Amino acid sequence: MTSPRLSLKVYQDLESLQEVRPAWDDLLAHYPAASIFSTWEWLAPWWRAFGSNRQLWVIAFFTDSAQLAALAPFSLESRRIGKGLKFKVLQLLGDGTQDSDNLDLPVRPGWEDRFVQSLLNYLESQASKWHFSELNTLPSNSLAGRKLEQHLRQRRWTALSYQRPCSAVTLPETWEAYLAQLSSNERGNLGRYSRRLERNYSVRFHKCTKETELPACLNALFELHQKRWKLSGQSGSFENPARRQFYGELARLLLARGWLEFWHLELNGVPVAAQFAFRYGNTVFQLQEGFDPDYARDRVGYILRGYVLKSLIGEGVRCYDFLGGVDPSKARWGAKTGTYLDLHFAVPCSRGSIYLQLKHRAQESKQRLREIMPPRAWSLLHSVNMKLRGVKAPAPGRVNEGD
């Protein structure tokens, strides 16, 4: 008996993609690894803000009964590498601007094999339209991610996998149980800093729950974030008008779905700290934040996070996800390190395949050099290399500012 086949349909603009929105929601409702990063509410605003120099390429896979079995939300980016070399890079929709993590290929459980086989058959038939693929920040529990890696190797395609760290806190059922997970120093700091703040200021914690509040709340976030980075001589994420546009539309859509977790701390009526996060299921994802450096000694970002965590635990949230990166400011809140999967591939014996293999070997050589050189010498070499290439330091991405 042959396995049921999947049919597919390709969408190359948001207007036509609208037709699968109800089926898309139903697919995510049945997908164990679903997150906001795979929703229309995330991907559509991202595309409207950042998609002008990319080509939309979303592939929907349907069963014989016309049920949406899987979704491959891709975009194509033309990338110039070196002198005159141009490649068409297949990416997950949402990648390329340092705004998205947990990007995925949602699929109904039980359809993983057929989905991946159908996807690779289609990509092979369209090999003239793309040179290589970079699927970044696939979650470790992605049903399609590991299956895709397996099928790529079986077909002998060029396939390179990498891991990148991420951090998340598992939250217990009570605030007292959570405090018991922290060090005695952190438990003491939370109480001491909070009491000191209340002695010196009129303190108000506020969650944005109305659309009419969004403009003021967003402006506060943008200004607080930018103020700190400008003091350090850097531009900051929100200097980019496209990013402000993205956050504005995203906030409205998430608020309408009841997913927005947008909190502020005010002292004497003035916003001094903000945290922009969102809830999906029983997980809250912390995306961006800012605080007024004039109040750094008052630990306003730290106090706001503690208040938010206490509120979320009381509402039944069981995971607070810091997303990509690992640093002490996350570990002090009990964050444990996990990994994302980056999967880069190309059809064999192709121009993209050659490029990926050469790039991989260069990265390995660079890593070996870094391991044997003293840190100061490596830092100097890296700085000189950046200047010779004319590369500016990247704008600051998502960081934990108030800790």
Which of 381 and 108 is assigned the larger pLDDT? 108
Please determine, for residue 391, whether its predicted confidence score (pLDDT) is greater than 50. no
Structure token digits, residue 70: 């899987």
Confidence class for position 387, pLDDT limits 50, 70, 90: low
Q: What average pLDDT score do residues 177-196 get?
A: 94
Give the separation between CA 104 and CA 318, rounded to whole angstroms: 22
Structure token digits, residue 398: 């998502």
Length of the chain, in residues? 403
Instruction: Specify the pLDDT at position 389.
Output: 47
Instruction: Specify the pLDDT at position 377.
Output: 59
Instruction: Specify the pLDDT at position 398.
Output: 55
Mean pLDDT of the chain: 91
Q: Percentage of residues in the chain with pLDDT exceeding 90? A: 82
Instruction: Specify the pLDDT at position 306.
Output: 96
Give the separation between CA 19 and CA 24, rounded to whole angstroms: 9
Instruction: Specify the pLDDT at position 388.
Output: 45
Q: What average pLDDT score do residues 100-105 get?
A: 96
Instruction: Specify the pLDDT at position 1.
Output: 44
Instruction: For CATH 3.40.630.30, list the domain ranges present in the chain.
Output: 7-165+339-372, 172-317
Instruction: Specify the pLDDT at position 236.
Output: 83
Confidence class for position 133, pLDDT limits 50, 70, 90: very high
Instruction: Specify the pLDDT at position 334.
Output: 95
Please determine, for residue 290, whether its predicted confidence score (pLDDT) is greater than 90. yes
Which 3 state secondary structure label does DSSP give 265? strand
pLDDT in tens, 227-243: 988 887 787 889 999 99
Give the separation between CA 247 and CA 252, rounded to whole angstroms: 9
Instruction: Specify the pLDDT at position 386.
Output: 53
Give the separation between CA 321 and CA 302, rounded to whole angstroms: 16
Give the separation between CA 73 and CA 59, rounded to whole angstroms: 6
Instruction: Specify the pLDDT at position 154.
Output: 96
Instruction: Specify the pLDDT at position 82.
Output: 75
Statement: 172-317 belongs to CATH 3.40.630.30: yes
pLDDT in tens, 239-285: 999 999 999 999 999 999 999 999 999 999 999 999 999 999 999 99
Which of 212 and 361 is assigned the larger pLDDT? 212
* Report field, pTM of the whole predicted structure over 0.85: yes
What fold is seen in the domain 7-165+339-372?
Aminopeptidase (3.40.630)
| β-pair partners for 289 | 275
Instruction: Specify the pLDDT at position 394.
Output: 45
Please determine, for residue 49, whether its predicted confidence score (pLDDT) is greater than 80. yes
Please enumerate in sequence order all residues whose Cβ is within 8 A of that of 306, keeping only pairs 6 or more positions apart, or say none: 190, 194
pLDDT in tens, 345-386: 999 989 999 999 988 887 766 666 666 767 765 466 556 555
Which 3 state secondary structure label does DSSP give 156? coil
One-character DSSP codes across 43-80 = HHHHHHHHGGGEEEEEEEEE-TT--EEEEEEEEEEEEE
Instruction: Specify the pLDDT at position 368.
Output: 67
Please determine, for residue 9, whether its predicted confidence score (pLDDT) is greater than 70. yes
